[in-house]
Chain A
Amino acid sequence: MSYKPTIVAFLCNWCSYTGADLAGTSRIKYAPNIRVIRIMCSGRVDPTFVLKSLREGADGVLICGCHPGDCHYHEGNYKCLRRYHLLQKYIQQMGIPKDRLRLEWISASEGKQFAQLVDEFTESVAKLGKSEIRQVMETLT
């Protein structure tokens, strides 16, 4: 049996969280490894949140926001995009594969796309195997 990863996801309230709810009301099935945290805007995703998730042992972190141009707060998703690119570089330097972090745009009507995304990301994270960070951190401290 393949490894069952744990994924922490940050979904913006207006587009992506609504899209994930739509997947639910449409009864579209997807992998059960994802744990969603609701935030108002993808722009609220503080790099600390991502690092904290990884440190606590999350095998993958997913951020979803509104499509470019559709942000409820005009441009929060662009801010998120910039931080995302920096973060990917940063975690790589720490020895974490950059594919453990992913940013995607999911609109309120894209329930199906959300389910597909979760399946796809779960699969790719499962391939990377268990994240060792939590263990390393525990032995260090």
Chain B
Amino acid sequence: MKERIDPNLYNDLEKFGIDVGNWNECYHCGNCTATCPLTEKGSLFPRKEIRFLQLGLKNELATSAEPWLCYYCGDCSKKCPRDANPGELMMSLRRYLTSIYDWTGLAKRIYTSKIFEIATILVISLIVMVLYLNFTFFPSGEGAWTGNDGGVLINKIAPWKRIHFGDWLMAGTLAFFLITNIFNMWLNIIVKDKSVKVPFIAYFTEVFSVVINFFTQKRFNKCDNDNKPYWVIHLFLMLSYVMLFTMIVFFLQWFQTDSVHPVWHPQRLLGYISTIGLFVGIIYFINNRIKKAKENSKYSHYTDWTFLVMLFLTTLTGILLHFFRINGMAQATYITYLIHLMCLVPMLTIEVPFSKWSHLAYRPFAIYFANVKKSALKKQVKL
């Protein structure tokens, strides 16, 4: 089948990247693909993606899952004789694909305009502030705000049911956008690819791979031996985040209690472990990006920074919130809770369906779709 090329694709995609080299310089020696520990027959990258980009084959790029299968060890960029920076192309492609999957067009605007991103964060923060001020109680003068064990009666300030309602509202919105975007991704990767016909059963046989990859990120581990600490820290960060997210969104009644439990109590223990996971991870990644220590932290897009900074602020305010609460500092608790939410909510709303954090869902799903395709292809060959 003939495909008309799009001469503007390169310029379009450049907006999602950082000015770090020139993908047109690639002369297709194939060193990048040869050195990549993850590429395999059936899903070849990154050379193939560079070629699609150079030619302007927009459809080929939009329907490929390969960018998500790359974990950016950076070996390809190191080995490139032309300094064409294939690793950074895969990174830019992930941003580009996020915008392709997103039907609202917000992802594209967030990725291509700094001002738009900051403005969105501010707007959501303000909405959160307004809602918070209206639906919570400021611990002023009268009434006992502290319990017998010295901790702040937090449910009196911000009743968990109200917060929980807000959580559900946010989670529902996020889930809606994320799921519709994943549906789009499915359309692109599987339905539009006419070379494979996926039998329905394949979706069931391969479902296990999504779960496994989500919780172990074992592909990431395969990426590079040098990246071992990187993989551990990233996994720890991810699991901590999932843990906290689950406790906040699904078990807030248990997580946000008035009484201060002993340190060994699962509520506090899990909270501490997750917080350490988050904090260590964030510090590690911020440090990497500042020092440009690794190939994958050499180049930082502004969305990388907003993500890290927002996560850092959220974690920091979370820690402070806990400290003020167990020490009975009611007013400080009230204000910190507000700031905490003003960081957390915009971060999640922007990052999860429209920006960097969407990889949490796209990566395992891309692996899932790739595996589904692979098993379908195997069956086709057998027939």
| Whether chain A touches chain B in the assembled complex (some CB pair under 8 Å) | no
